[in-house]
Amino acid sequence: MTDFQWVGQRVPKVDALIKATGAAKFTNDISFPDMLTGKLVRSPYPHARILNIDTRRAKRLRGVKAVITGKDTPGVKYGVFPDSRDQYLLAVDKVRYIGEEVAAVAAVDEETAQEAIDLIAVDYEPLVPVFDPQEALQPAAPVIHVHAPNNISTEMFVKHGAVEKGLENSRFQADEQFIIDGLAHCQMEPYVALASYNAISGKLDMWMPHQSPFTKQKGLSNTLKMPLKNIRVLKSCIGGAFGGRSEVSPADFCAALLSMQCGRPVKICYSREETFVTTRQKHPWIIDIKMGVDRDGKLLASKIKILADGGAYNSTGQIAISVAYTIFESTYRISSLSYQATRAYTNNPIRGAMKGHGIQQFMFALESVWDILAEKAGMDPLEIRLKNIVKKGEKLNSGSQITSCHLRESLVRVADVTQFKKKWRSPSPRRGIGISCSSMISGFNLGFRSGSTAYIKFNEEGEATLFTGTTDNGQGNDSMMVQVAAEGLGISMDDINLISADTDLTPLDPGSYSMCAAFVSANAVKAAAADARRQIFEIAADRLEANILDLELRDKQVFVKGSRQAGIPVKKLLVQACRSGKPVFGTGYFRPDIDYFRDHTKKGRQKGQMTGAYSFGAAVAEVEVDSETGVVKVLRITTAQDCGFAINPMAVEGQMEGSVGFALGQALFETLDLRQGQVMNASFFDYKLPLSSDMPEVCSMIVESNDPNGPYGAKEAAEAVHPAALAAIVNAIANALGIRPKNIPITPEKVKKLLAASQRTIA
Amino acid sequence: MTDFQWVGQRVPKVDALIKATGAAKFTNDISFPDMLTGKLVRSPYPHARILNIDTRRAKRLRGVKAVITGKDTPGVKYGVFPDSRDQYLLAVDKVRYIGEEVAAVAAVDEETAQEAIDLIAVDYEPLVPVFDPQEALQPAAPVIHVHAPNNISTEMFVKHGAVEKGLENSRFQADEQFIIDGLAHCQMEPYVALASYNAISGKLDMWMPHQSPFTKQKGLSNTLKMPLKNIRVLKSCIGGAFGGRSEVSPADFCAALLSMQCGRPVKICYSREETFVTTRQKHPWIIDIKMGVDRDGKLLASKIKILADGGAYNSTGQIAISVAYTIFESTYRISSLSYQATRAYTNNPIRGAMKGHGIQQFMFALESVWDILAEKAGMDPLEIRLKNIVKKGEKLNSGSQITSCHLRESLVRVADVTQFKKKWRSPSPRRGIGISCSSMISGFNLGFRSGSTAYIKFNEEGEATLFTGTTDNGQGNDSMMVQVAAEGLGISMDDINLISADTDLTPLDPGSYSMCAAFVSANAVKAAAADARRQIFEIAADRLEANILDLELRDKQVFVKGSRQAGIPVKKLLVQACRSGKPVFGTGYFRPDIDYFRDHTKKGRQKGQMTGAYSFGAAVAEVEVDSETGVVKVLRITTAQDCGFAINPMAVEGQMEGSVGFALGQALFETLDLRQGQVMNASFFDYKLPLSSDMPEVCSMIVESNDPNGPYGAKEAAEAVHPAALAAIVNAIANALGIRPKNIPITPEKVKKLLAASQRTIA
């Protein structure tokens, strides 16, 4: 570590100053003199046929420059995967949830746009809706999509080994059902899209918060039927994503279509309510888990059944229901298993990606079951986990290899620091302690976009410009890339200009989801810096009469290691490179070695490597419960994260603390309150996010395992802490109450009900 | 030629549509909501000491946001060459010409800025000025700069062989003096600079018309004492340059300093008058030429003395007085020569680069002398030129090699097409015909910026983005680069996005001066495309089981040449490249093999290659003179240009026609009318530019010599036509009048004076 000048150091983010002073330009801060305001007409019905849309009065309103309905779109359907595109850009036949987009207008100001929206008359024929996923799967349920008469949006099956036999052979068994509510991302930045179409050049410029400019560009190309090269997604600052900003959004293509129609830039900025209701949300789940262990607590068999409420359209449903299995097997040796997950269509809002899709839902349930089994087996929660967790070098059932793993170390660390075993066995009055862990992937197969390229160019003073396609959603990716480049180039972070996340300017990159940034994108940056350094060394070796391997690069000079000889300024070497006909230009590429395949039949066959590396997190939560009020106070959360190597420990800790905040909200407060398809709490007043005053004391520990393929050993950081902390809180509440909550969030009312039902009070 | 799909074709410019429709964004079209207007306080005196500057009243004016004087600048001097920096950013001690910048303000609007300017009180102590360069060199002349007590701005000496002996041995001699007036560039876009400084990030964004973003960036870094990486020059459309937009301008650094002071974007847009008076202008010259030829007309000796009026500061003076020699020796075998050029400081406006600096001035004189010598030797003008012009393979006295040359072919072609010899010997009444030729360089030693790099990246559909640092001033460089890339990549020009001329985004490039674009920048683009193609072929060869050399790339597919086998889509190969861990990314570099050196002593030693390639032009002009009114009408100009290979013949012809327009103006109309240092005709009403109705019939012929080092054989195009056409017009007038005009422009008054002095009329 100490050999490094920039990586591994606690450096402030490169955008800290502009963010702190308000100088940062988010999409809504970007304006053009002739820009129009766009607004969307949304369905008031959860399920209805559209009989007619009359836009004539709106079109006649002074100040209205464009009005579009489904007829003005290219008539295609969109969705995340080519085989699951089920939604028209603007509803043409039916609406399937309250809030669905039906028409769009662009006008000179917000008031006029709103007036125009109100003047658009849509005739609906209401249809019978269905909101409960279990009901939706009944034969008599209303059919939401013609292509899915059974209302099954997507299904997944995995089978491995002799499950029934495994269960039979089990000494201890658990069979439990868990229910998890839907959540909203609550990014601080509301969704906003700005489109500027140039009819002369045919080029479309777009700004919006996103997780990958290339994914947005591709989504726009698909929905607008426009060549990729004519669409440019430009960089703006982004106020949070959490998985919710990867798909193409109606705001994106409606702003584009409106701009194309009237030849002026159009900005659509969602209200907070629209952001809550019509952007993708976390899937509510019902999970049935049956698990059996032998007398030593070793897992023999698991039988898992999941029903997810997908809402009105597919979105990322396929992924949501598959990742639970993925993370299960990369955390614990699963032995025999059957896994069946179904995602039902309902007339609720659309559910998609949020913070690991379905991982937290599942890990809450799984980690609850581990505690149940531990109790049955007479073991403590740490003990049973240590018996079953994966280790470095193991090959998973799916075929993936674990290349680095300090999960054991992480669990032991949080247990030791908190005196977990002692406190768990004899909790103080009203207090409880819980432990949990999880794993996480670092990158995923994203086809053409699985790998990342980075370039580094130099100006005539030897300062560098780094080009990377990755996105910074606030987590510090921009800073990480500059750190890695500075380390490789032996120059100061201040000497590096960064160009990132622009489809025209930067090379292809997976983007800032599937946890690619550290493992994939930073690896590409490291390779680009190494490439530039090699070119510089080749010239320097000659001048210094030294072997390339004996050279080092620091403070913009090349030295012979250990020699007192004066260094050669890099600038001189750059000039010499130009003169010799080959200027220094670093290019680097990294693509994780992934080849995972799974068939979609009930046979659930699979093979190959799923991700570049697995990372791991563990947490211990300590809580206090007021049996009078039912209020749970989380006192302390101690987390450990194996992120391979912390490129910026301060940023990793920040992300770990953020994960604790998410876990806290999901465990105790957050629920998207739906009644008859209507979100009842679509505001920060009604939707209870944890406040800073709700935050417990947090202790974050980084446990480095140095992945052999990660840049400087780094891999994904901090996301496993979220499910671990969530389940740890639940387990701590169970430890305090002596009763186990099986649905989250665990509100004071639920605590009181649990206590009442069990006729217990706690001392 | 016919093998090429894109190069060599008459394709419309890539920016034709946006230019034709007015959608193109020039710097003045770029605005920001909080942008301020900047204005400059200028000296009303040609020479004066500054006693005091009182800005208090201006600063108090409502709406004024920043006021700067010399004290608010970094205190450095600027200028083109490190050893000739002689001007403060804002005058601190003295002012040296009428129009010199003394202070600057930024205010909320133009009226307020103007009012503030008027409120700034500058106390001057007028000093004796000197306007005539000959007077300036007298011992008693007022001293303009302390560092140059003799008022010599710069001098140049070349000596080669035994000149006096050569003159003695000459059978025919000429000894003439020529006088050439100063000119203005008259770019359609007035000078304008927009600066946006971000105090938080410390970054400065700049837009302005320029010939190289990197040269402007470097100039700003020098004048603002700011690291290069903090200065970004961005692309905007440019409305003409002609050499006048390479140096850093007071508008540039004043806009920057004002923006830094008040934290808002500042735009300074010069009035037409400011553009005329205070941007760089063409040097007025006095040239003495003594030349001798043997009985066969072969040049034996030349003795050349040049006095240039440089105005108040150095600017590009060093180059201006050296290029005459350069072009002399690359057009004619010079045998023995002495060349002495002096640039005097005067209290006139500053003279700098314009269309070949000093080439037209000199070639007008030289080509007049050839006609005089031809007459003395009893030869015709074509004959004497053909005896003396350079040929391919010759090594010049300076040490440069001529790698390709169709100068003879060009001269013969224009003579043949016009029946020159016949018409010259027996002109029609009042009519005359003249012939002339010239050469031009293709790129020059620009230090770190002598070479150009280009990159090509691909999106996931196989469309490409080309990065090049070169600038398009209107001549079509952007289009040329796209053409060359399309040819190399086997894709359509429409499939290529171009990113050009942005210091952050694009790689180092010499810029669009010294005639680098075709020879240097397009060569880099060609290399980048070849690099990408090679990578694609390497993958395809495997799949097609073919040798790389047998492959061809067209219509986004790779084929085996001559085979009927189906091609492989490039997109598939690009995906495969990604999967194999090395995505296709083309990089190309080209640096002309130049190593020219000249010492600055009176010995005038020199050696090495001056430029990448020489190009050549020839012209025949046919005129009609009205002896009554003195009005010259140019009837027809026939030009031929050896540009090696015409990448876009339509663009080359357009540039040739533009050169004819310049020649026409300089021959007959244009002069910057100075009286006591004051420009008397600083408007398009007073300064006579040729109108389209003044334009003669123009016949442009491209003569291709295929330079061995040029991209597809290309080198500089069309600039040699300017001096050739200028001198041809003059020679034609001499042919018509029987008397030789020796100063230009040849106005009707001058024609009448010539006729009166010689007591001749023409039939």
What is the C-alpha to C-alpha distance for residues A106 and B67, in angstroms, rounded to an integer? 42
Check pLDDT > 70 for residue A460.
Answer: yes
Check pLDDT > 70 for residue A75.
Answer: yes
B390, B705 in Cβ contact below 8 A?
no
What is the C-alpha to C-alpha distance for residues B538 and A82, in angstroms, rounded to an integer? 31
- Chain A residues with CB inside 8 Å of B505's CB? 499, 505
Q: Taking CB atoms and an 8 Å limit, are A463 and B17 in contact across chains?
A: no
Note the pLDDT of residue B761: 65
- Chain B residues with CB inside 8 Å of A197's CB? none
| A459–chain B Cβ distance below 8 A for any pair | yes
B506, B467 in Cβ contact below 8 A?
yes
Q: For residue B461, give every residue at least 6 positions away whose Cβ sits within 8 Å of its Cβ, in sequence order, or none.
A: A221, A227, A228, A229, B571
For B720-733, letters b (16+ CB in 10 Å) and e give bbbbbbbbbbbbbb
**ipTM for the complex?**
0.93
Scan for tokens 């509100």, then name that residue: A747
What is the C-alpha to C-alpha distance for residues A73 and A104, in angstroms, rounded to an integer? 11
Scan for tokens 């007409």, then name that residue: A41
pLDDT, tens only, B342-368: 999 999 999 999 998 999 999 999 999
Check pLDDT > 70 for residue B762.
Answer: no
Q: Closest approach of chain B CAs to the CA of A267, in angstroms?
A: 17
What is the C-alpha to C-alpha distance for residues B225 and B248, in angstroms, rounded to an integer? 14
| A591–chain B Cβ distance below 8 A for any pair | yes
- Hey, what long-range contacts does A682-687 have (CB within 8 A, 24 or more apart)? A682/A272, A682/A273, A682/A276, A682/A277, A683/A272, A683/A273, A683/A276, A684/A186, A684/A272, A687/A184, A687/A186, A687/A276
Q: Taking CB atoms and an 8 Å limit, are A448 and B465 in contact across chains?
A: no
A442, A613 in Cβ contact below 8 A?
yes
Note the pLDDT of residue A739: 94
Scan for tokens 């008539």, then name that residue: A75
Nearest to A499 among B449, B505, B578 (CB): B505
pLDDT, tens only, B481-508: 999 999 999 999 999 999 999 999 999 9
Nearest to B465 among A450, A504, A582 (CB): A504
SS3 B400: coil
Q: Is B200 exposed, middle or buried (0-12, 13-18, 19+ CB in 10 A)?
A: middle
Strands (E) across B170-280 are located at: 172-180, 192-198, 203-207, 231-233, 266-269
Continuous segment of H or E residues that includes residue A306? strand A299-311
| B582–chain A Cβ distance below 8 A for any pair | yes
- Chain B residues with CB inside 8 Å of A499's CB? 504-505
Q: Closest approach of chain A CAs to the CA of B731, in angstroms?
A: 44
| B278–chain A Cβ distance below 8 A for any pair | no
Note the pLDDT of residue B578: 84
Strand order in the sheet with B614-625: B431-441, B614-625, B632-642, B697-702
Q: Taking CB atoms and an 8 Å limit, are B579 and A591 in contact across chains?
A: yes
Q: Taking CB atoms and an 8 Å limit, are B460 and A450 in contact across chains?
A: no
In the chain, the amino acid numbered B603 is K
Q: For residue B372, give every residue at least 6 positions away whose Cβ sits within 8 Å of its Cβ, in sequence order, or none.
A: B174, B176, B740
| B22–chain A Cβ distance below 8 A for any pair | no
Note the pLDDT of residue B563: 86
Mean pLDDT of all residues in chain A?
95
In the chain, the amino acid numbered A328 is F
| A225–chain B Cβ distance below 8 A for any pair | no
- Chain B residues with CB inside 8 Å of A528's CB? none
Q: Taking CB atoms and an 8 Å limit, are B460 and A451 in contact across chains?
A: no
- Which pair of tokens denotes residue A459? 């100006």
SS3 B133: helix
Per-residue DSSP letter, B183: B
- Which pair of tokens denotes residue A495? 């000497």
Q: What is the DSSP string of A39-59?
A: EEEE-SSSSEEEEEEE-HHHH
A365, A287 in Cβ contact below 8 A?
yes
Q: Taking CB atoms and an 8 Å limit, are B507 and A461 in contact across chains?
A: no
pLDDT, tens only, B608-644: 899 999 999 999 999 999 989 999 999 999 999 999 9
Q: Is A400 exposed, middle or buried (0-12, 13-18, 19+ CB in 10 A)?
A: buried
What is the C-alpha to C-alpha distance for residues A761 and B89, in angstroms, rounded to an integer? 82
User: What integer is the mean pLDDT of A709-722?
Assistant: 96
- Which pair of tokens denotes residue A6? 């920039």
- Alpha helices by DSSP H, A472-611: 477-489, 522-544, 570-579
User: What integer is the mean pLDDT of B32-47?
Assistant: 97
- Which pair of tokens denotes residue A266? 């159009």
Check pLDDT > 80 for residue A750.
Answer: yes
Check pLDDT > 80 for residue A594.
Answer: yes
The mean-pLDDT minimum among A69-83, A598-612, B648-662 falls in A598-612
Note the pLDDT of residue B1: 44
What is the C-alpha to C-alpha distance for residues A88 and B302, in angstroms, rounded to an integer? 81
CA-nearest of A442, A444, A450, A445 to A613 is: A442
User: What integer is the mean pLDDT of A415-443?
Assistant: 95
Q: Taking CB atoms and an 8 Å limit, are A465 and B583 in contact across chains?
A: no
Residue of B nearest to A582 (CA): B589
- Chain B residues with CB inside 8 Å of A215's CB? none
User: What integer is the mean pLDDT of A79-91?
Assistant: 93
Check pLDDT > 90 for residue B112.
Answer: yes
> Cα separations (Å) of A342 from A133, A339, B365?
10, 10, 90
What distance, in Å, lies between the first and last C-alpha atoms of chain A?
A: 49
| A33–chain B Cβ distance below 8 A for any pair | yes
| B583–chain A Cβ distance below 8 A for any pair | yes
Note if the bond before B745 is cis, omega within 30 degrees.
yes
- Which pair of tokens denotes residue B253? 């650094």
Residue of B nearest to A25 (CA): B198
User: What integer is the mean pLDDT of A356-371?
Assistant: 96
What angle in degrees, to the nearest 10, is found between the helix axes of A570-579 and A522-544?
Answer: 80
Q: Taking CB atoms and an 8 Å limit, are A579 and B585 in contact across chains?
A: no
Strand order in the sheet with A614-625: A431-441, A614-625, A632-642, A697-702
Phi, psi of A702 (to 5 degrees): -100, 130
Bridge partner list, B180 = B285, B744
pLDDT, tens only, A271-302: 999 999 999 999 999 999 999 999 999 999 99
Check pLDDT > 90 for residue B2.
Answer: no
- Which pair of tokens denotes residue A582? 């080959």
Check pLDDT > 50 for residue A67.
Answer: yes
pLDDT, tens only, A332-363: 999 999 999 999 999 999 999 999 899 999 99
- Which pair of tokens denotes residue B151? 């008022």
Q: Closest approach of chain B CAs to the CA of A548, in angstroms?
A: 24
Give the mutation candidate from B205, B235, B504 for the A interface (greatest A CB count, under 10 A). B504
A712, A649 in Cβ contact below 8 A?
no
Continuous segment of H or E residues that includes residue A125? strand A121-126
What is the C-alpha to C-alpha distance for residues B315 and A616, in angstroms, rounded to an integer? 64
What is the C-alpha to C-alpha distance for residues A484 and A713, in angstroms, rounded to an integer? 12
pLDDT-derived band at A1, boundaries 50, 70, 90: very low
Question: Degrees (nearest 5) of the Cα angle B463, B467, B472?
Answer: 115
Q: For residue B581, give every residue at least 6 positions away whose Cβ sits within 8 Å of its Cβ, in sequence order, or none.
A: A451, A589, A591
Mean pLDDT of all residues in chain B?
95
Continuous segment of H or E residues that includes residue B342? strand B336-345
Q: Taking CB atoms and an 8 Å limit, are B578 and A450 in contact across chains?
A: yes
